């Protein structure tokens, strides 16, 4: 059961901005977590009309009692320009989904969509480093996860997307940012790969199958899927049948909440999250 928050004049604010906003879950989830931690703060939804975004955001960031911002559709790319500085992941893919106010009043932004996946795997005791990955989907989620996996030390990432040019662009971007990881475009799962991640929308419709031609998997393969509902997705069912460990959209979301709370608390610099060291 969700507990309620008592809001006083001294309560600190975190906000999630989006258009539309009524569907977001973060106000409940974060307000509850703040209460559990004994932090006098709430997460409020802010409906920022898309056509007023660039006028409204600087005003919000000037509020004296707003300490953090989450960013959802359609603002993740546009918000990056409003950060004083951004972390490696955000700089690489030029999008942020969170900002925090620093002691000097400046704003640090970063992208945690992929970090949540890595943290979710970590919470299940799964090793990421050294894996050879096939990543389905080169959009926003795929880009963020590609960054996070490269930072977590995977050996290679093969990127599969129905839009071959989008896959090639992401290979180029990630290769520049993470020269020690091998990126290629691909059409399916390469022999010897031991991690498969779906960051495409395939699985969101009840009758969706697998995101690509994925055969029998070795039980050592780690399988991930960003799709939350309907659960389990065909890919997660397939992983279970093959005896593989898996990380689903729910795990990823839980991991991201942890990563965001650490970021808001200022602890991100020492943790798994990308360090905010790229000037913007």
Closest approach of its own copies to the CB of residue 90, in Å = 23
CB 61 within 8 A of CB 86: no
Closer by beta carbon to its own copies, 26 or else 89: 26
Closer by beta carbon to its own copies, 7 or else 265: 7
Q: How many CA atoms lie within 13 A of 150 on its CB side?
A: 26
Q: What is the DSSP letter of 178?
A: -
Angstrom distance (rounded) from CA 54 to CA 52: 6
CB 196 within 8 A of CB 215: no
Closer by beta carbon to its own copies, 62 or else 213: 62
Angstrom distance (rounded) from CA 77 to CA 50: 12
124 classed as catalytic: no
**Pairing of β 98-101 and β 66-71:** antiparallel
Closest approach of its own copies to the CB of residue 19, in Å = 7
Closest approach of its own copies to the CB of residue 11, in Å = 6
**Pairing of β 85-86 and β 107-110:** parallel
User: Which residues have a Cβ under 8 Å from the Cβ of 24 and sit 6 or more positions away?
Assistant: 16, 18, 45, 72
Maximum distance among all Cα pairs of the chain, rounded to whole angstroms: 59
Gyration radius (Cα) of the chain, Å: 19
Closest approach of its own copies to the CB of residue 101, in Å = 12
CB atoms under 10 Å from CB of 20, counted, come to 13
CB 249 within 8 A of CB 226: yes
The site for its own copies (CB under 8 A) is made up of: 2-11, 13, 16, 19, 21-28, 31, 42-49, 52, 55-56, 58-60, 62-65
Closest approach of its own copies to the CB of residue 29, in Å = 10
Closer by beta carbon to its own copies, 16 or else 83: 16
Catalytic residue, from 76, 100, 101, 253: name it.
76
Closer by beta carbon to its own copies, 76 or else 238: 76
Catalytic residue list: 76
């Amino acid at each position: 059961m969700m507990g309620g928050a008592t809001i006083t004049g001294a309560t600190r604010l975190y906000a999630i901005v989006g258009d539309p906003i009524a569907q977001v879950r973060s106000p409940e989830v974060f307000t509850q977590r703040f209460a559990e931690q004994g932090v006098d703060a709430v997460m409020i939804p802010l409906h920022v009309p898309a056509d007023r975004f660039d006028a409204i955001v600087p005003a919000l960031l000037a509020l004296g009692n707003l300490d953090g911002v989450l960013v959802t559709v359609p603002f993740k790319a546009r918000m990056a320009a409003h950060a004083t500085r951004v972390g490696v992941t955000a700089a690489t893919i030029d999008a942020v989904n969170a900002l925090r106010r620093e002691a000097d009043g400046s704003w640090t932004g970063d992208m945690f969509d992929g970090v949540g996946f890595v943290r979710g795997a970590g919470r299940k005791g799964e090793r990421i480093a050294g894996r050879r990955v096939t990543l389905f989907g080169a959009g926003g989620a795929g880009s963020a996860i590609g960054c996070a996996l490269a930072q977590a030390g995977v050996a290679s990432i093969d990127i599969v997307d129905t839009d071959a040019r989008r896959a090639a662009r992401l290979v180029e971007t990630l290769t520049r940012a993470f020269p020690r990881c091998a990126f290629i475009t691909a059409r399916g799962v390469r022999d010897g790969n031991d991690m498969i991640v779906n960051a495409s929308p395939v699985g969101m419709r009840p009758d969706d199958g697998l995101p690509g031609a994925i055969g029998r998997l070795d039980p050592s393969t780690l399988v991930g899927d960003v799709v939350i509902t309907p659960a389990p997705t065909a890919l997660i069912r397939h992983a279970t049948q093959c005896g593989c460990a898996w990380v689903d959209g729910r795990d990823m979301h839980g991991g991201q909440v942890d990563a965001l709370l650490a970021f808001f608390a200022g602890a991100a610099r020492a943790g798994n999250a990308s360090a905010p060291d790229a000037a913007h």
